[in-house]
Structure 1
Amino acid sequence: MSLPSRHLLLLARMLLVLPGLAFAQPAALPERLDRVIDQALAEKRIVGAVVLVMQDGKLVYHRAAGFADRESQRPMKEDTVFRLASMSKPIVSVAALKLVEQGKLRLDDPVSKWLPSFRPKLADGREPVITVRQLLTHTAGLSYGIFEPEDGPYHRAQVSDGIDDTGVSLEENLRRIASVPLSYEPGKQWGYSVAIDVLGAVVAKAGGATLPRVVEQLVTAPLGMKDTAFFTKDAARLATPYADGKPEPVRMGEQHTVAFGAGGVHFSPARALNPQAFPSGGAGMVGTASDFVKFLETLRTGSGPVLKAKTAALVGTNQTGTLSTMRGPGWGFGFGAAVVLDSAQGRTPQSAGTFEWGGAYGHSWFVDPQKRVTVVALTNTAFEGMSGAFPTAIRDAIYAEGK
């Protein structure tokens, strides 16, 4: 005998609050996330977004909202291709870890073993050993021009950060990086940097092919990440990038500079369509939200065709000891992502062990292994979608149990 519909509804509500679920009221999650996205669009802080949430391997929220191109009124779609910027870093880092599993690369290999001419020196003239491990963890003594004034050493050496399009080759960019004195003794500090561009060159050498080919063979093809690569031929699916502005975001032009820190980030949107641009391991890839959530889920579960569970866990395990990172107290850094060490100190509702990062074109993502939750939020608005109110509001909506 079937139960009356009101009894079925009551039973469903009881099941929703069983202990161990990531959300006390999963039915309310879409409403909370919809409010966050709708408010950001209404306030003209972002132009468009694709947000995906996985729980226990199931897609519990997915939405494309706003415009992929505002001026032509092209709507955002779930298969829209984005410039990934620093979301490239964990993908290339995982390719390196796969080579370690295969015995083709060691974490403590000197970088000079693979790149004999890459021998940057300290300001006092000493030439320290830089290891693959230090590249992976941003403890190699390198930096980014975005942290310097426009007359800083990286700018004077014309180092590319992988987002601009200078026409420089990877080999020439490595030479320029190595010509600048190291910012600190490798292994002694943490500094966000072009290290993953250098790592990309190591991965290519150890993998015996170009970086795009090695990444495809080891990561994207096995995971079926069919839209993730170092450039796209499908301009019609590529999101138009915008920069923060008042009263609304500004459409980026070619070689568009957005103020950041002591200087600015120099964006070249055309780079994503240029197969001749050097493959930047730190910032050069394009892809979709659905591809990236596949990638994160294989790291969360430790299953799939790429890494063994023990190796996959290293991505979200602190590798930098007590070194201070840009996230401050309560945070560490793994192989490709920031890691929550202490939720209270880190001022986040995320569980200890959560790992996350983002991308300068306007992206954020995180994986909470304790809650078994993976979140990808891609926008086409820099920097609101990466470090503005939007990613914080998405995060807080995920953890707003009972609200």
Structure 2
Amino acid sequence: MNPEAVGLASHRLQQIERHLQQRYLEPGRLPGALTLIERRGELAHLSVQGHMDVERARPLQQDTIFRIYSMTKPITSVALMMLVEQGQIALDDPVHRYIPQWRNLGVYEAGFVGTFRTRAAAAPMRVVDLLRHTSGLTYGLQQRTNVDAAYRKFGFGDPAGSGTLQGMIEGLANIPLESSPGEVWNYSVSTDVLGYLVGKISGMPFEQFLRERIFEPLGMIDTDFHVPAAKAARFAACYMLGPDGRMNLQDDPQNSPYLKPPSFVSGGGGLVSTAADYLRFCRMLLNGGTLDGARLLSPKTIELMTANHLPGGKELPEMSVSLFSEASYSGVGFGLGFAVTTNPARTLVPGSVGDYSWGGMASTYFWIDPREQLIVIFMTQLMPSTIYNLRRELRTLVYSAFT
């Protein structure tokens, strides 16, 4: 690694490790942290700090396997766009063309499960609404409305739940939308629905499509919906921040549900991966849809995906009713699977117009800055992801190392 050769200062990159160590690792606010920075196609920085399993004092490793939760969403979005490129589905198609039982979904007005009162939606849900989270669907974890409560009651969208993707699709036919499609941005099970569409349209199970059409061509050898026995020793523990500010073990890697294939295959949050695997996915995106001779998408499709698709060119704070999101500040819009920076000055953190990003519930995060030929991947395992300003701090530290 020679950071100076790609316009980065070594001594400033070292500030990232010091910052993480002093602010998060030593006080026990994070179990461990893996930070990877690549610029102009060269690895410029890789730091591996802390533990993958605090209870057993097992150090974090470069090849540790992490739950990436919502960093699954960009992968699922790419899968759907591969089918768009083949003409098998279009962004303005109504979703009920593929899920007929959703044709007459109403919008919530009042009531509870079994007594919902609804009104007609002002517009049909389109495929683009699923990609940009303007579908009118929600997440049970939002805990904002009676519709959210219905999702929790039936376990819709829970990667660790006992339901199935087909069961969720059928069940949602009986639950009203929270809003008319296209009217508001609400983080939701939309990307799980995209996974269902990929499976239905391609004629193969969604997980098989990802494996054969994305993971194998890109050489993502450790990315899957479960951790096989041969790799279990590399699987990190996951933690939850308790009311006392201490980390509590949330998922023990030795008896985790991830050690066997899930019943609910979640395109919205079900994958595990490594930093090296996710780097290959990011390289494909930055390279305009291709990597090492394998082309998944065209450069024009990547360009379309990373434009702001919020109606009227609005930003997330203007449209969001979501109590939980992996990005929520001004100067950021949303594309087809990613948050997209539209105005760096409004974000109040360094960046570029057109950089795109997303994160996961266990505080994992990535962003790609095409203008600067930059990829940054951050891996850890602490829930929830909103507890610290870590992502904004990382952006500041990385861009401050530019020369």
Give me the TM-score of the superposition, normalised by structure 2.
0.85
Say whether residues 1:251 and 2:249 are aligned partners: yes
> Which is further off, 212-221 or 243-252?
243-252
Partner amino acid for 2:107? L
Say whether residues 1:322 and 2:313 are aligned partners: yes
Equivalent positions of 1:350-369 (< 5 A) are 350-369=351-370
Partner amino acid for 2:13? P
Aligned counterpart, 1:281 = 267
2:237 alignment partner, one of 223, 237, 240: 240
Equivalent positions of 1:282-301 (< 5 A) are 282-301=268-287
Contact 1:271-1:277 within 8 A present in 2 as well: no
Between the aligned partners of 1:398 and 1:229, the Cα distance in structure 2 is: 29
* Equivalent pairs, count: 369
Contact 2:65-2:234 within 8 A present in 1 as well: yes
Aligned counterpart, 1:400 = 400
Aligned counterpart, 1:176 = 171
Equivalent positions of 1:305-344 (< 5 A) are 305-320=295-310, 321-326=312-317, 327-344=328-345
Shift of 1:146: 1.6
Between the aligned partners of 2:402 and 2:120, the Cα distance in structure 1 is: 58
Contact 2:226-2:262 within 8 A present in 1 as well: no
> Which is further off, 83-92 or 163-172?
163-172
Partner amino acid for 2:150? R
Aligned counterpart, 1:206 = 201
> Which is further off, 162-171 or 202-211?
162-171
Structure 1 runs (4+) greater than 6 angstroms displaced: none
Runs (5+) with no aligned partner, structure 1: 1-11, 255-268
Contact 1:145-1:159 within 8 A present in 2 as well: no
Q: Secondary structure at the match of 1:95?
A: helix
Q: Secondary structure at the match of 1:60?
A: strand
User: 1:161–1:352: structure 2 CA closer, same or farther, 3 Å change rule?
Assistant: farther
Contact 1:36-1:394 within 8 A present in 2 as well: no
Shift of 1:138: 0.6
Equivalent positions of 1:4-403 (< 5 A) are 16=4, 22-23=7-8, 25=9, 27-39=10-22, 40-119=24-103, 120-123=105-108, 124-126=118-120, 128-149=123-144, 152-157=146-151, 158-160=153-155, 162-233=157-228, 234-245=231-242, 246=244, 248-252=246-250, 270-302=256-288, 303-304=290-291, 305-320=295-310, 321-326=312-317, 327-383=328-384, 388-401=388-401
Between the aligned partners of 1:299 and 1:159, the Cα distance in structure 2 is: 36
Contact 1:190-1:324 within 8 A present in 2 as well: no
For residues 110-161 of structure 1, give each alpha carbon's deviation from its aligned partner in whole angstroms, at most 9, with x where no partner exists. Answer: 2122222234322333254211111001111111112125x83233353435
For residues 10-60 of structure 1, give each alpha carbon's deviation from its aligned partner in whole angstroms, at most 9, with x where no partner exists. Answer: xx9xx959xxx653x2x2243122112212211211001221111011111
Shift of 1:171: 1.4
User: 1:347–1:66: structure 2 CA closer, same or farther, 3 Å change rule?
Assistant: same
Aligned counterpart, 1:3 = none
Shift of 1:288: 0.7
Runs (5+) with no aligned partner, structure 2: 109-117, 318-327
Between the aligned partners of 2:387 and 2:336, the Cα distance in structure 1 is: 21
Q: Secondary structure at the match of 2:61?
A: coil
